[in-house]
Structure 1
Amino acid sequence: MPRPVIFDLFHTLVEGADQERDRVVGEMALIVGVAPAALVAAYHASWRDRLVRWDVEETVRLLAGRLGGAPTDDQVTRAGHLRRALARRVLDSVSAATLGVLDALRAERHPLALISNATSETAEAWPGSRLARRFDVAIFSSEVRLAKPDPAIFKLAAERLGVVPTECVYVGDGADGELAGAAAVGMTVLRTTEHNDTDPSWGGPMLAALGDLPALLREPAGPHLASTSDSQIR
C-alpha cells in the first residue's frame, strides 16, 4: 500500500523568502509609524507567539505598540494587507517541478499531508494556492495552536490522514527541530536540501532533489530509507 507522505512547507516545497519577509515588515513599519529595523527585530523575537497565538492585525498592533506606536485601525489594516500579499506570493512561487512531484505521488495513491509552522496569513492564503488541491490534509500551527517539534502536531497529521505515525514518511528541511520531532513519533524521516541546507547535523537520510522522491518510494523498504545513518539519496 502506498505510504502516506507528510511535507513541511517553507524551504521544502517553496523558498522561505526570509529576506523578502523582512523587507515587507519594514514597509509595514512605515505605515504604522515605527522604525523599520525595530519592527523587523520585534517580528523575529516574537516568532513563537506569531506561530500559535496572534493573527496578522493583532501582531501589527501589539508589536507597534511595544515600539511606541499607536496605529489607527486603517494603518493596521493596510499593514496587514502587505503581509497577506506576501503570503500569496510565496505560495504562488511553487515551481512546476514541485507540483509535478506532488502530482506523481497522488497518481500513485500516496496520501499527502502538510504540516507548517506558519502564521495566520499563510493559512488564510492556502486554500487559493495551487498546492492546496494536491493535499488531503493541511495543518498550520496558527490554526491548531501547536508548532513543530511538538509531537502532538505530527500525531494530529497522521490522525487526520487516518493512519498511525509509523506508517508515514516525513519530508522537511529541518527547521524548528522538525526532523527529530517526526522521528520521535516513529515517522520515517527524509531531510531535503533542495531549497536550503537547514539542519546539516541531522544524521538520517538526505534527499538532495525532491524529484527523486516518487522513485524512492516505489522501491521496497530498504536500509537507505529506514536507516538513521548518514546517507544521501540523489
Structure 2
Amino acid sequence: MPRPVIFDLFHTLVPGGDPERDRVVGEMALMVGVEPAALVEAYHATWRDRMTRWDAAETVRVLARRLGGAPTEEQVARAAAHRRALARRLLARVPPSTVAVLDALRADGHPIGLVSNATAETAEAWPSTEVARRFDVAVFSCDVCLAKPDPAIYRLAAERLGVEPADCVFVGDGADGELAGAAAVGMTVVRTTEHNDSDPAWAGRALTALGELPDLLREPARGR
C-alpha cells in the first residue's frame, strides 16, 4: 500500500505571506487604537496561544488590552474580520504546482493528511479551498489544542488516517521544530525549501520543489 503522506500547510503547500500578515496586524492595531509595531510584536510572541487557545476576536481583545487599549466590541469585530479576510486570501494562493502534486499522490493511492499550526481563522477558511477535498484528514492546532512539535498532534493525524505514525511520510518546511517532532514519533521526514528554508540545519532529505515528491515516493525504499 502506498504510504500515507502528511503535509504541513504554510511555507509547504502555500506561501506563508509573512510580510502581509504583519501589515494586516498593523492595520488591525489602528482599528483598535494601539501602536502597530507593538501589536505585531505581541502577535509573534503569543503564537502558541493564538494557535491553540484564542480565536481571532479573542486575540485582538486580549492583546489590545495588554497594550493599553480599550477597544469596543465593534472595533474588535472589525479587526477580527480583517484577519479572517487575510486567511482566505492566503489560502486562495495555493500554486497550481501544489495541486498537481496532490493529484499525483492521490492517483498513486497515497492517503493524504494535513497537520498545521494554525489559527482559528485558517481552520475556518480551509473547507472552502481548492485543495481541501484532496485531503483525507486535516488536523489544525486550534481545533485540538495541540501544536507541533508536540508528538500528540502527529499521532492524532496518523490515528485519524487509520495508520501508525511509522507508516507515514511527513513533509514540511521545518518551522516550529516540526521535522524533529515528526521524526520523534517514527515518521519518515522530507523537508521542502520551495517556499521557505525554515530549518537549514536539518540533515535529512530535502526537496527544492514539492513537485519532486511523487517521484521520490515511487522509489522502492521510500514508497513501500
Q: TM-score, normalised by structure 2?
A: 0.98
Q: Does 1:179 align with 2:182?
A: no
1:102 Cα offset (Å): 0.3
Which residue pairs with 1:60 in the alignment?
60
The one-letter code sitting in structure 1 at the alignment partner of 2:42 is A
Which residue pairs with 1:98 in the alignment?
98
The one-letter code sitting in structure 2 at the alignment partner of 1:75 is Q
Identity %: 74
1:68 Cα offset (Å): 1.0
Q: Any residues of structure 2 matched to 1:150-229 within 5 Å, and which?
A: 150-221=150-221
1:209 Cα offset (Å): 1.1
Which residue pairs with 1:232 in the alignment?
none
Which residue pairs with 2:19 in the alignment?
19
1:56-84 Cα shifts (integer Å, max 9, x gaps): 10000000011111111111111011100
The one-letter code sitting in structure 2 at the alignment partner of 1:50 is R
1:68-106 Cα shifts (integer Å, max 9, x gaps): 111111111110111000000110010111001001111
Which residue pairs with 1:4 in the alignment?
4
SS in 1 for 2:138: strand
Which ranges of structure 1 fall in alignment gaps of 5 or more residues?
227-234
The one-letter code sitting in structure 2 at the alignment partner of 1:127 is P
Which residue pairs with 1:230 in the alignment?
none
CA RMSD in angstroms, aligned pairs only: 1.2
1:202 Cα offset (Å): 0.5
1:85-141 Cα shifts (integer Å, max 9, x gaps): 000011001011100100111111100000000111000000111121110000100
Q: TM-score, normalised by structure 1?
A: 0.94
Q: Does 1:70 align with 2:63?
A: no
SS in 2 for 1:115: strand
1:43 Cα offset (Å): 0.7
Q: Any residues of structure 2 matched to 1:115-130 within 5 Å, and which?
A: 115-130=115-130
Structure of greater relative contact order (alpha carbons < 8 Å, 6+ residues apart) = 2
- Work out the CA distance in 1 between the residues paired with 2:79 and 2:201: 38
SS in 2 for 1:69: coil
1:180 Cα offset (Å): 0.5
1:149 Cα offset (Å): 0.3
- Work out the CA distance in 2 between the residues paired with 1:203 and 1:97: 26
Q: Any residues of structure 2 matched to 1:111-150 within 5 Å, and which?
A: 111-150=111-150
Which ranges of structure 2 fall in alignment gaps of 5 or more residues?
none
The one-letter code sitting in structure 2 at the alignment partner of 1:180 is A
1:207 Cα offset (Å): 1.3
- Work out the CA distance in 2 between the residues paired with 1:62 and 1:212: 43
